[in-house]
Structure 1
């Protein structure tokens, strides 16, 4: 086993898998957490094989909206110190918005998937975070800054406010807390079959660099925030969006 340990939620595909790969390449042991055992296992085995380090990445199956299942992650960590927690689980959840009951269910589902998952995982591992030097990264979205996605936008914006509180609480222990806010990233499961060629072209045109993001763009930002060069960076929102939303 390596000396450093990272836990990445939503680690089976897309951005989470890219983050797991760069951290494992940097020598971390990585637990990838999610609900789909087959996807997690395939990703963990593929990355470990590719970097030539058996079991560098290991799967932990848990629905992080369920407090009882979060204990699976705690059990996997055991008595090890956790150097980094990357909260990437979430996504836009559609649903019936007819009537107040439908609206309430729609909002709760998005808040649970994007906010509660991060809160429960981080709180469960809070005492295990390395002191000094631990890192917490929350993966937000450009939607938190410009809107356009209803409850998903609101949920991602909630992560920003919570990150500021958490950074203040953990700062005295030399633990940093930051947010990475991606713009449009292709090659993920986020849009499912909802993305059209026209939608893709519109999002690319909104950038200043004339291309869609890829998961590695976000993973490299996370790598920076987790690395030693970012020890004086905390309570910040790092936009990685090709210039489609300028700094605020």
Structure 2
């Protein structure tokens, strides 16, 4: 019997690949996003239902609840964006602009997961899965994006302890440079791309499908004792021990 899967931010990039992986394997999938055209295109292409939602907006999430099934088996948080524009070490910075930038970073990368989970947690039953998409920026980036993704990983680990008695697992999947997404607003310079690829052990960029495979595994019956973890899908660029 197929599962009910919600992929928040599933209209493009990594989120789309995740939604496609579940849909291809017979699960009922709902994807959300803010762009109706992208949602319609993706839902038709992968066989998922689509619902418009800004996951940083409580009113949108309350409306979303009315459209979703009463039971959710897998909740994937793939909402996120790099909103940083001010250099981290800038000496001449307007503090109001800096504060606004950091609020945007938290609103884009942390708040959606917190709000959506709070709204839908009562619907996630025994043996469910919550999986958030993190970033290798948590290891070194002095930006609102890196800080928000680090907070996301910490939040998932803490949430795991709270919902563990219900046999719900909570994990973060952390990719590094992943091609085929809209993360970079402009094409990467060849030198930067080459440096990112060279930093991996396997000498290639990541793909959305790499991340989707990890997410699918963590939501499977084979991963019921894996929780509160941060799984790096980065070609070895960050070595865990």
Aligned to 2:109: 114
Q: 1:238 aligns with which of 202, 219, 231?
A: 231
| TM-score, structure 2 normalization | 0.95
Deviation at 1:149, TM superposition (A): 5.1
What is the number of residues matched between the two proteins?
236
Q: Any stretches of 5+ residues in structure 1 without a counterpart?
A: 49-56
| TM-score, structure 1 normalization | 0.92
Deviation at 1:77, TM superposition (A): 1.1
Shift in alpha-carbon separation, 1:211–1:15, aligned structure 2, 3 A? same
- Structure 1 residue 62 and structure 2 residue 56: aligned? no
Q: 2:159 aligns with which of 166, 169, 172?
A: 166
Aligned to 2:6: 7
CA–CA distance in structure 2, aligned partners of residues 35 and 135 of structure 1:
24
CA–CA distance in structure 2, aligned partners of residues 197 and 185 of structure 1:
15
CA–CA distance in structure 2, aligned partners of residues 137 and 175 of structure 1:
11
Write the mapping of 1:1-248 to structure 2, written as runs, cut at 5 A.
3-48=2-47, 57-79=48-70, 81-95=71-85, 98-130=93-125, 132-145=126-139, 147-148=140-141, 150-248=143-241
Deviation at 1:195, TM superposition (A): 1.4
Deviation at 1:165, TM superposition (A): 1.2
Q: Any stretches of 5+ residues in structure 2 without a counterpart?
A: 88-92
Question: RMSD of aligned C-alpha atoms?
Answer: 1.3
Shift in alpha-carbon separation, 1:16–1:149, aligned structure 2, 3 A? farther
The ranges of structure 1 where at least 4 consecutive aligned residues each deviate by more than 2 angstroms after the TM superposition are 94-98
Query: For each residue in 1:120-162, what CA deviation from the matched residue of structure 2 results, as whole angstroms up to 9, or x when unmatched?
Result: 11111000002x11100010001112x2251111000001111
3-state SS, counterpart of residue 76 of structure 2: strand
